[in-house]
Amino acid sequence: MPASPETVFRALDSFRIETPSWGYADTGTRFGKFHQPAAAIDMDDKLADAAHVHRLTGCCPTVATHVLWDFAPGVDASVVASKAQALDIRIGSINPNLFQDQLYKLGSVGSPFETARDQALAHILDCIRIGKATGSRAVSLWFADGTNYPGQDSIRERKHRFEAALKEAHAHLSPEQILLVEYKPFEPAFYQTDLADWGMSFLTAKKAGPQAKVLVDTGHHYLSQNIEQIVAWLLDEDMLGGFHFNDRKYADDDLTLGSIDPYQIFRIFHEIHFFAWERGGKYPDIEYMIDQSHNLKPKIEAMIQTVCTAQELYAKAALVDHEALVQAQRKGNIVDAEMSLKKAFNTDVSVAIADWRGTKGLEADPLAAHRASGYAEKAAVERAKRRQELGIATEHSYA
Ligand code: LRH
Ligand code: MN
Ligand code: MN
């Protein structure tokens, strides 16, 4: 059944998704890295690639930055913001790096060492300053903190250290800024992670202050955990700040979105549309971001694939007949209730999305348009040459 174009158009008109700078550069697993000649070398390349993806999709106006990987020490962040602006994009979330420095061996803000805690907090405050200088809204916190062996440190003490640091960070936010608190149950800490699940992020964010919210990375859950239920609860508590979208088969696999389980992403989007429908069409303020590390697929193709999948699933989820769903729920009609979701999920939205792109002056198929543009081939030649000149033929700063 083809989709009602008005609903699809309305959904896509308001849908924006942020691409990550690190998704354009060479990445790998902890076992190794397979290099791509077209991969971005520096921030200028990452901005160019992000702008190219936005030009083709029309829905990725911001790029997430990882401070240590993207901003050279002492660089004027507003200059980077101007470069982005010149390319018709903006700097999006600012991600501190609280895990690579040797000082963070036992953690950052949760470390038993005061020097590590002080450095981590100072870095977060720097990121808040970078956010102000670049006109970006979200400072997005992910902590590798935790312990690897029972008894290694006091779990409660670490909790208190987190509460103190995030409260202090929150006090430095401008009224426009938000603090996103991401959780992850495992890796690199393998006994206990300080912010291991949404409840821990929720409490820590609540204690930090009203501008702190929870960030849900879809890869950061145990297998079979009901992520849409977490989303529904966070929406109901006005605590859902944003997403890091990716897919996984096992753990934090960072695969392209919907490559394994598109229905799960659909169900997450359904919770958001359903919530907004109950509120007369008022959508919550959510930062939709991609966090994937496709080290085998060509970088830009993988990014476009994820963006298009996100649009498709967001549009499909908007098609759920909420009236019918609520009627079925009230009658205890499980089959019809479930079918209202399935019917929307099984609707073909490809023509409606292509038409929407047409109304925005975009090509109907961004992936085909990218392939036809010759952008990747040109980048491969130019970047391979530059790598040689710089003496970094196969290396990149991402560790
Ligand atoms: C941690 C994480 C976090 C980091 C990103 C590179 O697994 O999801 O968001 O900032 O990966
Ligand atoms: Mn993440
Ligand atoms: Mn992750």
The 3-state secondary structure of 178-208, one letter per residue:
EEEEECCCCCCCCCEECCCCHHHHHHHHHHH
Question: Could you tell me the distance, in angstroms and rounded to a whole number, from the CA of residue 332 to the centre of ligand 3?
Answer: 38
pTM of the model: 0.97
Question: Could you tell me the distance, in angstroms and rounded to a whole number, from the CA of residue 291 to the centre of ligand 2?
Answer: 5
Question: Could you tell me the distance, in angstroms and rounded to a whole number, from the CA of residue 320 to the centre of ligand 1?
Answer: 32
CATH number of 5-390: 3.20.20.150
Per cent of the chain over pLDDT 90 is 93
Q: Are 65 and 91 in contact (CB under 8 A)?
A: yes
Evaluate if residue 72 carries a pLDDT over 50. yes
Q: How many CB atoms within 10 Å of residue 1?
A: 9
Question: Could you tell me the distance, in angstroms and rounded to a whole number, from the CA of residue 330 to the centre of ligand 3?
Answer: 38
| CA-to-CA separations, 222 to 146, 196, 225, 382, in angstroms, rounded | 17, 10, 6, 42
- How high is the ipTM of this complex? 0.99
Angle between helices 227-236 and 262-278 (to 10 degrees): 20
182 touches ligand 1 (CB under 6 Å):
yes
CA 75 to chain centre: 24
142 touches ligand 1 (CB under 6 Å):
yes
pLDDT band of residue 74 (cuts 50, 70, 90) is confident
Evaluate if residue 397 carries a pLDDT over 90. no
* Nearest Cα residue to 41 out of 374, 299, 367: 299
- Find the ligand nearest to 142 CA: 1
Instruction: Kindly provide the residue ranges of all beta strands, DSSP E only, lying in the chain, ordered along the sequence.
Output: 19-20, 28-29, 32-33, 62-66, 90-95, 138-141, 146-147, 178-182, 192-193, 212-217, 240-245, 287-290
252 touches ligand 1 (CB under 6 Å):
yes
Instruction: Kindly provide the residue ranges of all beta strands, DSSP E only, lying in 229-366, ordered along the sequence.
Output: 240-245, 287-290
Question: 32-43 burial string, b = 16+ CB within 10 Å, else e?
Answer: ebeebbbbbbbb
Protein residue with its CA nearest to atom 1 in ligand 1: 142
pLDDT attached to residue 393? 62
Question: Could you tell me the distance, in angstroms and rounded to a whole number, from the CA of residue 278 to the centre of ligand 1?
Answer: 33
Cα(18)–Cα(50) distance, integer angstroms: 9
At 241-260, the pLDDT tens digits run 999 999 999 999 999 999 99
At 338-363, the pLDDT tens digits run 999 999 999 999 999 999 999 999 99
291 touches ligand 1 (CB under 6 Å):
yes
Evaluate if residue 172 carries a pLDDT over 90. yes
184 touches ligand 1 (CB under 6 Å):
yes
* Atom of ligand 1 lying closest to residue 20 CA: 6
* Atom of ligand 1 lying closest to residue 215 CA: 9
